[in-house]
Amino acid sequence: MKSISIRLRWLATVLSTVCPVLASAAPSATSAYITDAQSSFVADQTSEGINQVNSIMCYVGAMAPSAMVNNGNYIALIDDTKCDTGGRDKASNSGSGSSGSTASQYSTATVNSSRTSNSDPMIGKVWVDENEDGQQMTIFVHAAATTAPTSTNPYGTFRMDFCGKAASGGSCLFNGFIDASSTGLSYFETGSMGGGSRVIALTLNADGTTSGTGRMSVDETSPFGPSTSTNFTFAYNSTYFRRYDGTYDQCFSRDSTDLATGFSVWRYGLYDATTGARVTRNSGFPIEYTTGGTTHHGYMGYYGLWLPQDVLSTIVTGDAVSKVDYSSGAPTSTSYTLVKAGGKLTKYTKGTKTLADIDQIRFTFFANSNTAPSGWTATPAYTQGTQYEMYWDNANTRFVITGYQSCGSNGCQVASLSAPEPTSNSYWTTNYSYGIFGWSQSLGGEVFINTASTPSASTVVTYRTQDLVYPSQYTAIGNLYCITDCPTASGIAALLASTASTPFGSTAGSYSPTTSLVTYTLNATTGNLVDSASAAVTTASTSLTGQFQWGIRSGKLFPTSQASTVDAADPLGIDGSYTPWSVDALSVYYVWETGPNGWNQFSAVKDSNGTFVQFDAPLNVNYTVPSGAAYGDYAGKTIVLQYNGFGDLFGIPGKCVNPITNDAGDCATMTNARYVPEFAIPFSQTTGTVTNGSTTYLVKWLDREIRFAKKTVTDCTAAGLSLPSGVTLPTSAGLKDPSSSSSDVYIGAKPTVTDAPRVIHGVVQY
């Protein structure tokens, strides 16, 4: 199971206050806009100690067992990206433009939920097929729920035991339990993977729903570093939450209206502004694929095909898959023919704004000039080749550089300069006369700013919207040219053999004028990009690392028929010379992507008439950020968001927070920094709306994280909140193994289910 920190419903009950929903006159009291549930949960330093069980609880919730009681064995698909804080944070911080950051990735679970009578406990048996860092495993889960939570018993009465085993068998790689009663809750887990080990123990003693105390210990060993041991004690009442880890004694307010309280929303719904109905997208459908007598359950959508990795690598063009349709109330299957290519082509279409339109909106760019802006005093010193963050300051008509990309233990993040660096407009016209190339999630992706003349409020800013290209459209495009970052089959082979650092050869990062263009052809039959050596520019290797770990993306490709336009647009005015920035004169260009993941490859299906089934691309919507300190530098600005489908609205800029203090800080220097959305869209018909052209949609947050406002320890002690002592932790003596026939929670071997998935991430299909 992915190491995740999503939520435990009981932890949310313990730590959070009931957060008021903003009153609004909805289109209809019975509309989805009003009736769709909202869920708040608390993110705290202690959450990091219960990642595994948080993941399991999220997965179990996505199986909808309470809705399927006594319906027999069934298949449920769980979207890993919705139960994965790490992946979720990367999606929030996606600065590469890779569609992989938002593509769904599913795990398959076989589930049985039963109850003998209303006086008996509900029993859940679950077998989850999982791939953890390339290792296939099955997670066995036994859960027994006796009573529901009440005002005097905030957790209800339930017990959950779990064990994760390698597909090849053996002992539990991790083993744990959660045991809740009227007096509190115990949790214990032990595990060893990747040469390390981890033991977590938690005791939570509750006095009703508003107060209690507890203790947690986390002991970890790693083959790559020193062992760590952390021991938390904590206490809470209706007003405060206090936590002590042996070094830091922290006090937090439980008042969600405190101005210092942090909110991050991870799921939003989009609704019709008149009817309040959910806005849905034709983003994909579940499929079945049978090979070797085994039926595999997957998903076909805009971002491609999802199947278990070992199956994905074997399915090929021409194979039959079945679409499972639930519209009639019972599943019906329709056969389709798979078309699969080793990469995919994306079309980028130009749109324009002005610098005044993007005032204060941050974007990143690569420093291609070896000349630093005049008067640079910030640290670190200016370095050519660094990726910097900056914004246009319309009030002072200048660009201000605010940060730089720093890579460390937290991955690559934008770190703040020691002080913002205002720049002169003459710097850009002298050193970037060809223009500034950047990327901004808030502007929808790639950005180009024309600095051939002195930048001003009216300077044109070009941005691009994206569309997937189908092989049936290749003929109309013709052959393609490339100037910089041009991958070839031999270049990819050299990268994989570690004889080259990029797959681009001499074109890697080249921004010098050239009279020589790299030529490609598009093969409408295979769907692949073909280089001048007649080799497909593809790879399915899982050995890609570093900057290519999410796949290989080419530079900007343009049709050979547009060569004269690109030549004429060369800002250097050299006849027959081409520069990467001159491609921006075109209304359309293309990018090729390849790699081992479903989102790196083109996958689609054809119906019985040989026609492609096409899915909706993410819907670009504009959001005008409200005024107020909670919205920081984005207050009053308009940004671009993308809507993939219900629950999946993304593109809000982010920041890093300290898990110990909940304070925002520098991503590069903060220990165990978390990257979270900068702000949350409020549930309001005035400040919670987005637009696409003349159409307005309502937005409603569905799942949000609360980070308590930090207070002084004196505040906690004055409120009578003291830390507990002598709290006894659970031990390994309480472990049970639901995969063992000798255990009283044995769930048996995973049953064979041939029916279509009945639940897809919490939604019952039939």
* Whole-number pLDDT of residue 53: 57
- Write the pLDDT tens digit of every residue in 203-237: 988 876 688 899 999 998 987 778 888 899 999 99
State the DSSP H helix or E strand holding residue 548, giving kind and residue range, or none if neither: none
Model pLDDT for residues 505-550, shown as the tens digit of each residue? 999 988 788 888 999 999 999 999 999 999 999 999 989 988 898 8
What b-and-e string marks burial along 390-429, b requiring 16 or more CB atoms within 10 Å of the CB? bbbbbeeeebbbbbbbbeeebebbbbbbeeebebebebbe
Both tokens of 663, joined, read 């304070």
Q: Which of 745, 716, 732 is nearest to 233 (CA)?
A: 716
Task: Encode pLDDT of 248-274 as tens digits.
Answer: 999 999 888 888 888 889 889 999 999
Q: pLDDT grade, residue 50 (50/70/90)?
A: low
534: three-class secondary structure by DSSP: coil
**Per-chain mean pLDDT for the chain:** 85
What is the rounded CA–CA span in Å between residue 338 and residue 605?
Answer: 5
pLDDT of the residue at 742: 96
- Name the pTM for this structure: 0.70
List phi, psi (to 5°) of 504: -100, -5
Q: Which of residues 21 and 403 earns the better pLDDT score?
A: 403
- pLDDT of residue 635 exceeding 80, the answer is yes
Nearest-angstrom CA–CA distance, 305 and 309: 11
366: pLDDT strictly greater than 70: yes
Tell me the residue type at 516. Answer: S
| Range of 23-37, 125-139, 178-192, 467-481 with top mean pLDDT | 467-481
Q: Examine the pLDDT at 153 and tell me if it is beyond 80.
A: no
- Indicate if the pLDDT at residue 753 is higher than 70: yes
Determine the pLDDT at residue 368.
87
Q: List, for residues 104-139, the tens digit of each pLDDT value.
A: 677 889 999 999 998 899 999 999 887 665 677 899
Cα separations (Å) of 388 from 380, 420, 432, 669? 11, 11, 14, 17
Give DSSP secondary structure letters for 723-763: ---SPPPP-GGG---TT-TTSTT---SPPP--SPPSEETTE
Residue 84 pLDDT class (50, 70, 90 cuts): low
Token look-up 């704004």 returns 353
Q: Are strands 695-707 and 39-42 parallel, antiparallel or unpaired?
A: parallel
Q: What are the residue boundaries of the structural domains of the chain, listed by start?
A: 284-341, 347-466, 470-600, 619-707
Report d(CA 517, CA 519) in Å as an integer: 6
Neighbours of 268 (CB within 10 A): 25
For residue 392, what pLDDT band results from cuts at 50, 70 and 90? very high
CA distance 402 to 398: 13
